[in-house]
Structure 1
Amino acid sequence: MTGDVQHLVTQLADVPWLLTALDLVGVFFFAVSGALLAARKHFDLVGSMALSLLAGLGGGFTRDIVLDRGLPASLENPIYLAPPVLVSLLVYVKFIHPNRLNLTITTFDAAGLALFTLSGVVIAHGMGLHPVSVVIVATVAALGGGVLRDIVANEVPSVFDPRGVYVMPSVLGAAVAEAAALQGMLNAFTGTVIAALIFTVRMLAYHYQWRLPGAEISQDRESLARLRRLAEQAQAATARRAARARERMGPVEEFEGQVVVEDFDPDTQSITVVDPASHQSVHYDPGTGTMDVKDMRTGRTRSYDAPEHDWVADHPRRQA
């Protein structure tokens, strides 16, 4: 280890709060993504805090255990609990209440991904690991919190979801940061540039629907549009009936012979319908435009924003 990297690591060792601050900012961003996902899932305050803690602390916890650094920093220093708790309260009182939940969750998740990748490289490189090991540790640290968050919330983990490239920005960013470290060029400026690069690539992948070759798409544009149309029609009809107080839709009432209304919340106006033809359950929230589609055969759930942001294939995959 030479040059700027040695100086940077020495500074971080001499002034521990610098590395702690970098970690805390990453924890904050991941915690926001966890709290917003909890809000979309209608978790209570305790559930929101639990998901925020998992999302915010999971990556650093995994990193410290893999590197055998002793007691994980999140357990050694109670300050790590502050961002998840604060974020959960802000979301609970609706201080943070965006309309585009999927986009906002992805934005904060991408920021956390970038910061944890960078801190993982700095710590792993400073411990003298092989360059390949540094990249692996940094990637695991960046992905850990998001994976735990999605699993607990019964979402398909972003690592396995083809809707936008998720892992590769972290891998590429870690490789670039480690290459810079080996050349003695990793410093505050280059580190910031690399973190911004990871964030930018992840957001571009989300916006332009990038995917790696071979990724399968489970939903084509026509079938997704049909599900949204049926959910919106069923929601409007159910809301009108509930408003007239003439009847409340039960779990077995059928709408136009196509979908079955399973649940309706008169407070949020959200509705859950079952489409027997596709073996899918759809939870539609008219307030945010979010549609959660659950495959009843596998139990997997995927979420889609308003129609212009739905990530689907332009052409349905032909069956053999």
Structure 2
Amino acid sequence: MDLQSFLSSLADLPWFVTALDLVGIFFFAVSGALLAARKDFDFVGSLTLSVLAGLGGGFTRDILLDRGVPASLENPLYLAPPALVSLLVYVKALHPNRLNLTITVFDAAGLALFAVSGVMIAHGMGLHPVSVVVVASVAALGGGVLRDIVANEVPSIFDPRGIYVVPAVLGAALAEFAATHGGLNALSGTLIAALIFTVRMVAYRRGWRFVGADISQDAESLARLRRLARQAQVAAARRAVPIRGRGTRLRAGRRDRGPAAFGPREEFEDQVVVEDYNPDTQAITVVDPASHQSVTLHPATGVMDVTDIRTGRTRSFDEPEEG
């Protein structure tokens, strides 16, 4: 068998589509479980986000294509990755420090694999090329959207940091073009998935944006918020005093009145107001009136959650890398 015949034979291997689905489910499930860990969800919450992220896209795809019982319900094997991943994260076998970056890596891998498998399935059912791209894109994006909505996060498709939808759509279009010309097989499908993953990660790391995208949270403003939150955290830690047999509490000031007075209120009156402080984890929440933003800093992971008070929209940022 020559090389051309071999590559052609790879185009009709059902195991490859199943393999793409299972590996894609695993990657999406990891992103869901890690997000649950960052949100301090319990095992049930972790499993829920893993299932939604891992199975949501394929479930939606199968319903749109009217394939009968979705593959994730027809074959119990599809439930194994979310369950395994949730257990690994719960016992902290998977507990990286740079949570947001790691979540993005696994999410990008799932995005790429589901885009390709979606094209293979939809094209095999004889859909119009445009419909194939739409179905594949929905399959690639659906799990992440469900995961973020349930976790009360801004869905990645609406986040101007990096480009998220474009790699999936263009990758699906490229895969459909290859399928139309008889060139979509295990090898080309893997290469297209790698291309989608690469574009998504480069866009994320370089912060690519569309013209007109929100740029209010640039590197300088984020560095300022992190610096103020750290200063407030250090000052609040100085005020925390141990209570025998009952952990720690904050040393109250004369002007302390409820949660808004937690932390070094008098020291940051002209910059940020400390809304909450946990002496045990040293996590702190401050409000910056100048930018209308609330900031929660988690010292254990370095993750900083920034919420726009006017819209309620929250975005999370890893601690900047050294150098």
- Normalised to the residue count of structure 1, the TM-score between the two structures is 0.89
3-state secondary structure, aligned to 1:307: coil
Deviations 1:3-46 (A, max 9, x none): 9898546431xxxx543232111000000001111111111111
Change (3 A) 1:29 1:307: same
Secondary structure of 1:277's counterpart equals coil
> Within 5 A, what are the aligned runs for 1:40-79?
40-79=38-77
What amino acid does structure 1 have at the position aligned with 2:303?
A: T
Aligned residue runs from structure 1 range 45-194, under 5 A: 45-194=43-192
Confirm whether residue 268 of structure 1 aligns to residue 271 of structure 2: no
How far residue 198 of structure 1 moved from its aligned partner, in angstroms, is: 0.6
Q: How does 1:141-290 map to 2 (within 5 A)?
A: 141-243=139-241, 247=250, 251-253=259-261, 254=265, 255-257=267-269, 258-290=271-303
Query: Which residue identity is paired with 2:312?
Result: G
Distance 2:70 2:300 in 1: 40
Q: Is residue 4–residue 187 contact of structure 1 (8 Å, CA) maintained in 2?
A: no
SS in 2 for 1:60: helix
Task: Give, in angstroms, the shift of residue 211 of structure 1.
Answer: 1.6
10, 13, 24: which is aligned to 1:11? Answer: 13
- Give SS of 2:13's match: helix
Bigger shift: 73-82 or 161-170?
Answer: 73-82
Distance in 1 separating the partners of 2:59 and 2:280: 39
Query: Could you tell which deviates more after superposition, 218-227 or 20-29?
Result: 218-227
**Counterparts of 2:6 and 2:43, CA distance in 1:** 44
| Among candidates 17, 24, 27, match of residue 26 of structure 1 | 24
C-alpha contact (below 8 Å) 1:251/1:260 kept by paired residues: no
Indicate the SS of the match to 1:282.
strand
2-side partners of 1:35 and 1:208: how far apart?
25
Which one has a bigger Cα radius of gyration? 2
Distance 2:92 2:249 in 1: 33
Displacement of 1:232: 0.4
Q: Is the 8 Å Cα contact of residues 51 and 152 (structure 1) preserved in structure 2?
A: yes
Counterpart of 2:255 in structure 1 is none
SS of match in other structure, 1:148? helix
- Between stretches 223-232 and 46-55, larger displacement belongs to 223-232
Q: Which amino acid letter does the alignment assign opposite residue 264 of structure 1?
A: Y
Distance in 2 separating the partners of 1:206 and 1:199: 11
Paired positions, count: 303
1:98-146 CA deviation, whole Å, 9 max, x = no partner?
1111110010001000100010000000000111111111111000001
Range that drifts further, 74-83 or 294-303: 74-83
Distance in 1 between residues matched to 2:121 and 2:218, nearest whole Å:
43
Gaps of 5+ in 1: 310-320
CA distance in 2, matches of 1:298, 1:111: 30
Task: Choose from 26, 34, 49 the match for 1:36.
Answer: 34
Counterpart contact for 1:146–1:157, Cα < 8 Å = yes
Q: Secondary structure at the match of 2:105?
A: helix
Identity %: 75
Identify the residue that residue 318 of structure 1 maps to in structure 2: none
Pairing partner for 1:302 from 315, 318, 322: 315
